[in-house]
Structure 1
Amino acid sequence: MKKWIFILFALLLFGCEEIPPSGFIQTNGTTDQIPVEVVEVIDGDTIKVKYDGNIEKVRFLLIDTPETNHNTLGKQPFGEDAKARNKELLASGDVSIEFDVGERVDDYGRMLAYIYVDGVSVQETLLEEGLARVAYVFPPNTRYIDEFEDASNIAKTQSLGVWETDNYVTNRGFNASVIEETSYTNELNTVSESDAKCAIKGNINRQGKKIYHVPSGKYYEQTNPEEWFCSEQEAVTAGFKKSGE
């Protein structure tokens, strides 16, 4: 009877906290970095590792990289770059993961963690190099949000990677159409500039005579050029004479 009274007293005094089972790694509230073996690099922010004897998919906390093979978004600009850089970093040293104080698993069954190679944050590196954006900020898993924002601002200030094109990075992800439109516009501008500056046609007739035709010339439209020139002087220097002379 005295024994049970003592046990009851101890429980009231010290609480009823459950003792973790054997082999369980308790990291809540700590910054312990747990060594893991990388099994596969899926993309810029998701990998598979061997953890506690199991193969687990890990989603990088607080960052988002462009997609490489999404069901609806497909392949986004800089997605392959982020994946390649992620793979390169993870192969360069010893890999470890760190949990935050909140949820460790997302709705898709992926572990949520910070990733390190020889103690250096992979997330920060990707952000600083312009291959990721700060995203999915869900308290209390926000331990390194300030550091990540600073790293992202470095890339943003220098217009690196995903920050090269205005409005590619959005609050909801990455807008590939902006880059596609920009590329198309640049292509049109290049063609337009070419047409304006290098529109002089150089033709060699059957007798071997070199003739150049300006856009206002009589035979300009029907002439198939062997060469293009950006100025009449350039054509003359190349040995061509103006049509009609």
Structure 2
Amino acid sequence: MKKIFAYLVLFTILLYGCDESSTNGVIQTDGSTNQIAVEVVEVIDGDTIKVKYNGDIEKVRYLLIDTPETNHHTLGKQPFGEEAKQRNKEILKSGNVTIEFDVGNRLDDYGRMLAYVYVDGESVQETLLEEGLARIAYIFPPNTRYLDEFEEASKVAKERSIGIWETDNYVTNRGFNTEVLTNNNAEEKSTTEQCNIKGNINRQGKKIYHIPSGKYYEQTNPEEWFCTEQDAIQAGFKKSGE
């Protein structure tokens, strides 16, 4: 009976490893900060990759960050999603890739491994945050080992208003609000459409402006656009005398 018990203990250690435990089928770790070398097989987007780990192909979801989508079934393609993916790919190609697990769950609800990702010892998550290509998200204790460092990196991008922080309210607590950018583009287009007075400089060097109802408006190639006739006059242009 003792031999059977010993075999069962040995089998459990071999199956889960001495640095892991399993609770309700969810694999957890003991908090080791060891970095494990992996081979990147595919870059799916800015925060998800496929790697060869222990001889198997596994999906890895970056801990504590979220990047805009590139091909989501409902959200579609979000601004800066492709930039985040390409930058992620560029970083991962630049050196040796390792992953590190935190103290909590190793797998998410989709079976993806949750990890911190490094290239030559440098955090990929911190780089993406600092360059304005990711937001801090999915904070589920106890997997929060580098939250303070990540918040500092994100602060740099926010203060510089770069990437996802270029437009106010694009980044939200629930993700990325594409409607903000759509509305801004519509407002810019509306403003451009109102500035429809054409300023032209003829061969004699005379500055002439043409309004939409003018005879030569359609055939005129503008050097400048004006929103009002007063703007054109102040710029030294005279109204076409057709």
Three-state SS of the structure 2 residue aligned to 1:226 is coil
Cα separation, partners in 2 of 1:213 and 1:64, compared to 1, 3 Å: closer
Q: Which residue of 1 aligns with 2:46?
A: 44
CA distance in 2, matches of 1:18, 1:226: 84
Do residues 182 (structure 1) and 176 (structure 2) align? no
- What amino acid is aligned across from residue 199 of structure 1 in structure 2? K
Q: Which residue of 2 aligns with 1:12?
A: none
Partner of residue 68 from structure 1, selected from 64, 67, 70: 70
Cα separation, partners in 2 of 1:145 and 1:229, compared to 1, 3 Å: closer
C-alpha contact (below 8 Å) 1:213/1:220 kept by paired residues = no
Q: Which residue of 1 aligns with 2:56?
A: 54
CA distance in 2, matches of 1:96, 1:211: 64
Do residues 24 (structure 1) and 22 (structure 2) align? no
Q: CA deviation at 1:213?
A: 5.9
Partner of residue 163 from structure 1, selected from 148, 162, 165: 165
Q: Which residue of 2 aligns with 1:228?
A: 222
CA distance in 2, matches of 1:214, 1:71: 48
Q: Give me the TM-score of the superposition, normalised by structure 1.
A: 0.78
Three-state SS of the structure 2 residue aligned to 1:56 is strand
CA distance in 2, matches of 1:88, 1:121: 14
Cα separation, partners in 2 of 1:175 and 1:98, compared to 1, 3 Å: same
C-alpha contact (below 8 Å) 1:101/1:141 kept by paired residues = yes
Once the two structures are superposed, residues 24-65 of structure 1 have per-residue CA deviations (whole angstroms, 9 ceiling, x without a partner) of 373521110000000000000000000001000000000000
Cα separation, partners in 2 of 1:38 and 1:242, compared to 1, 3 Å: closer
C-alpha contact (below 8 Å) 1:82/1:132 kept by paired residues = yes
Cα separation, partners in 2 of 1:211 and 1:122, compared to 1, 3 Å: closer
Segments of structure 2 that go 5 or more residues without pairing to the other structure are 3-8, 20-28, 225-231
CA distance in 1, matches of 2:209, 2:110: 66
Q: How do residues 1-245 of structure 1 correspond to structure 2 at under 5 angstroms?
A: 20-21=13-14, 24=17, 26=19, 28-192=30-194, 194-195=195-196, 198-200=197-199, 212=208, 214-215=210-211, 220-224=213-217, 225-228=219-222, 230=224, 231=232, 242-243=240-241
Q: CA deviation at 1:191?
A: 3.5
Q: Give me the TM-score of the superposition, normalised by structure 2.
A: 0.79
CA distance in 1, matches of 2:10, 2:81: 45
- What amino acid is aligned across from residue 117 of structure 2 in structure 1? I
